[in-house]
Structure 1
Amino acid sequence: MVLVSEFLELELNKIIETSNNNITITDEKGIIVRSHPEHWEIYGIEPGSYIGKSVYELEEEGLLSPSINAIVLKERKFSRILQHTKTGRVVMSSGYPIFDETGRLVRVVSYSQDQTEIWKLQEQYEQLQRKIQGYRTEVEDLREKELNHSIIARSNEMQQVLKTIQHVAKVDATVLLLGPSGVGKSTIARALHNQSDRYREPFIEVNCSTIPESLFESEIFGYEPGSFTGANRKGKPGLIEQAEGGTLFLDEIGEMPLGMQAKLLRVIQEKKITRIGGKEEKKINFRLVAATNQALAKMVEEGRFRLDLFYRLNVIPIHIPSLNKRKEDIPVLIQHYVQKTNDKYNKLKKFHPSTYDVLTQYEWPGNIRELENLIERLILTIEEPTIYPKHLPVIVSGQTKPLDISPSLQVKQEIEGKRNLKETLEAVEIQLIAKAYKECKTTYEMAEYLGISQPTVIYKLKKYKEHF
């Protein structure tokens, strides 16, 4: 007949042998009385040679560094340590004291788990994190270099613009880009986006001067299915909605219809939109960048632009100087666009140094856009490998004035009887635009003919449409 004590002995041995944790029991003197048979292999001790050994002795031999049981015997309370064995293993050990009814410490039970693989994974994870941080730093450097390459900034004026962009790119404050047409406001807006924390998200560019007023609201805010005749049966997200998480760039903001300005103001304030025909408001997370070649403050005075919207947009104004105000940039811009156009069309054209001189002295009323278009035209139309001043249009080479604006007899008759400067200037402007409209085939040709931007041509045609 098996005694109760024998059953307890069998049960205890089975628990120790089958436990997921390596269990070791020592007496009050640190002598090992029970342990898992295979537990000591991780310490470099032969199975079966540990019973009767003292944990203090094993510590002196360097096999336990340190012994959790020895620590519990000393401190008389639960303890947990991380051990590094001679065999190169990492072991997590926890020890618990056992007291008798008199409060005397009689046993210590410890549990050990081999954490070597987990420890290695942790080290690999930390190494990976360091590499990721290194790659992130490299990406930031590359993005900064990309910004420097996308914006030609040799002049002090553009260097200051570049510094401002880098300074405000990381914050979500609204930026208003100011400057004449063709100075590269859209390029700067994209560089601002690329330097921001939103660079992985969409960059949505909206030219407010090219969207018909009747379609403006549906294009900007989107619409629900069946909202109006001709609408997409599935509905359509607006441009603001498409900018979720990224940057919304409203170019030519001064051309936005007055009725739409109030709705845009609400979107900027609340960052919520409601599609046409919809009832549910949708929260949109975007960073706003706007641009204009117009004097918004003057438009406010004239009642053509909302004052409250102007204040919302004019948080961080950045003035982009015209090209004739930063002539140091012209030679490097020429070099940049010559290379770009050669690569695009597989050409090997070059500009003579004297051509650089002439182009640097030109006033460039159309700014960078005019310069880029001229270089592309010259490379594609001039057959010679080197482009000299003789190949330049007379308007650029200085052989004639850009546009004869002396009033013709017709203009004189038109302005006769006008009493104020505004009416007189409008009369002259109408005649010049009418002449360009008659002689040019496209609005782009009109823009070049008049020395203004193509969006401005569209605006003027709308303004004076009853005269054509």
Structure 2
Amino acid sequence: MDNYSSTGLRPEDWERIVDILPDGIYVTNARGLTIKVNAAYEHMTGLSARQLVGRYIADIVKEGILSNSITQRVIDKGSEVTAEQTTAKGKRLALHGIPIYKSGSIILVVTIVKDITVINELGKELDHSRQIANQYKSRLNELEGSPRFVAESPQFQAAVALAHKVAEVDSTVLILGESGTGKEVLAREIYQKSYRRDQPFLKINCGAIPDNLLESELFGYDSGAFTGAKKGGHMGLFESASKGTLFLDEIGDMPLHLQVKLLRVLQEHTVTRLGSTKVIPINTRVIAATNQDLEQMVREKTFREDLYYRLNIVVIKSPPLRERKADIPSLIKFFVKKLNAKYHLNKQLSPELISALMDYNWPGNVRELENIVERVLVTSSSDLVSVEEARLPWQTAGPAGALDVAAPFEEISLKEACERLEKRMLLDAARRYKTTYQIAEALQISQPSVSRKLKKYRCELPQ
């Protein structure tokens, strides 16, 4: 009884088995004549069996079809040999040649082939990622010891102390405060002081993204969930930030139908992608922030009451700059140092200028202060900038028809006075900000309102 009948397999069965193997197989006789290549080898190299079988491997290499071969080395050495090979299409292959003996002589050489192109590419990407990580590490070392924020005033110190306290637990945090008061600074401080600090910190502005895009960005989607959906689907921010922290800025602008989904995520700690029924468990800490009055929005039915109470576990209030003026000198020093380094300058603000900045009420808060300090530094000629050279917007003459708050009382209606002041503030904001969204954030009104008012007063944004 022959070997085939004893195993129950015919020669053609062995052929099929070799062809379904995931690794490439290249078989020659003891003289280097190609006897067999399997389907995986054809797929890896782009070469067909018809091109190779019945030909000597030395001729194939000579013609440049393959860059090299280990068959002859296996025959000469009489033992296994490993090497790498590059195909004409640039693929990297790992070769493992094995001699097959019969009666003390080599009768076949079987070469097992693995495609390592992806592994090499991943190795390059890993090296690149390590280089970037080292650059960031170096930069962080340079910044070590630099303050992440300024907290001289008792009001902001109290907010920071509460942030540090809740950083130790996973409770949902709601940060309230006007635009530009440093809500994101407090959110990042909570993250930096938490045990999640080595995991992702992701941020999304709920008011700056269209509703349909916001939903897919937060919760993700499956392949085919909508026209244009990426093949293989897309992981949402809740999944991407799992084990880390997700900062939902401007939570008050989130549409009502998405508030329902957010509530479910916060309660059940699971997320379901668009177009899918699969429930995915997550471990994501949520910090939310808004400059709106959520209690009023709940009364007006524009914010869900159940979500409000789910977010309202720990509330941190970020005080406006007009209530923490003790921080202004240190903030100015911080910004001047940062901007001098950024623009290779060596400038300072005079004591009189700092005093003038202290007297202002800062409706745009810390963000407005930073913008004013930058403008003063980059437009001045002196190393010590005076009040006169600074030309602070609120101390200069306004545009024609603007209301001068220091001028004597005029016989005009309250409506006209309000419109003049509104126009003056819009013009000032239009000079300092590039988009209607930025103006809306600074003036704490909606973007459509900004667009309407700019059109009403015939104001144009600078190009």
The interval holding the TM-score normalised by the smaller chain is 0.5 to 0.7
Deviations, residues 198-249 of structure 1 (Å, cap 9, x unaligned): 0000101111110112322111111111211122223211111111111110
Matched, 1:222 2:211: no
Contact 2:251 2:290 in 1 (8 A): yes
**Secondary structure, counterpart of 2:147 in structure 1:** helix
Distance 1:466 1:363, change over 3 A: closer
Q: Which residue of 1 aligns with 2:351?
A: 353
- TM-score, normalising length: structure 1: 0.59
Supply the distance in 1 between the matched residues of 2:446 and 2:382 (Cα, whole angstroms).
Answer: 34
| 1:190 aligned to which of 188, 191, 200 | 188
Contact 2:398 2:424 in 1 (8 A): no
1:407-418 superposed matches below 5 A = none
Could you list the runs of 5+ residues in structure 1 that have no partner in the other structure?
1-141, 414-424
1:86-101 superposed matches below 5 A = none
Q: CA deviation at 1:166?
A: 1.4
Q: Which residue of 1 aligns with 2:320?
A: 322
Supply the distance in 2 between the matched residues of 1:380 and 1:270 (Cα, whole angstroms).
Answer: 51
Query: Which residue identity does 2:387 align to in structure 1?
Result: P
1:412-431 superposed matches below 5 A = none
Contact 2:426 2:454 in 1 (8 A): no
| 2:447 aligned to which of 455, 458, 466 | 458
Supply the distance in 1 between the matched residues of 2:434 and 2:208 (Cα, whole angstroms).
Answer: 13
Deviations, residues 282-301 of structure 1 (Å, cap 9, x unaligned): 11101111111111000000
Q: Which residue of 2 aligns with 1:285?
A: 283
Supply the distance in 1 between the matched residues of 2:290 and 2:423 (Cα, whole angstroms).
Answer: 22
Q: CA deviation at 1:383?
A: 2.2
Query: Which residue identity does 1:287 align to in structure 2?
Result: R
In our comparison, the structure showing a higher alpha carbon Rg is: 1
Matched, 1:159 2:157: yes
Contact 2:170 2:285 in 1 (8 A): yes
The alignment-based identity, stated in percent, is 39
Contact 2:249 2:290 in 1 (8 A): yes
Greater shift, 146-155 or 457-466, is seen at 457-466
Q: Which residue of 2 aligns with 1:208?
A: 206
Contact 1:175 1:313 in 2 (8 A): yes
| 2:173 aligned to which of 158, 172, 175 | 175
Contact 1:151 1:187 in 2 (8 A): yes
**Secondary structure, counterpart of 1:226 in structure 2:** coil
Matched, 1:386 2:379: no
| 1:339 aligned to which of 337, 340, 345 | 337
Could you list the runs of 5+ residues in structure 2 that have no partner in the other structure?
1-139, 459-463
Query: Which residue identity does 2:311 align to in structure 1?
Result: L
| Backbone CA RMSD of aligned residues | 3.8
| 2:300 aligned to which of 296, 299, 302 | 302
Supply the distance in 2 between the matched residues of 1:262 and 1:283 (Cα, whole angstroms).
Answer: 18
Q: CA deviation at 1:314?
A: 0.7
Supply the distance in 2 between the matched residues of 1:215 and 1:369 (Cα, whole angstroms).
Answer: 28
Query: Which residue identity does 1:377 align to in structure 2?
Result: R
Deviations, residues 381-433 of structure 1 (Å, cap 9, x unaligned): 212212111133443447669x74999999969xxxxxxxxxxx9xx79x958
Query: Which residue identity does 2:322 align to in structure 1?
Result: N
Q: Which residue of 2 aligns with 1:149?
A: 147
Contact 1:183 1:322 in 2 (8 A): yes
Distance 1:375 1:448, change over 3 A: farther
**Secondary structure, counterpart of 2:362 in structure 1:** coil
Supply the distance in 2 between the matched residues of 1:253 and 1:405 (Cα, whole angstroms).
Answer: 37
Contact 2:393 2:428 in 1 (8 A): no
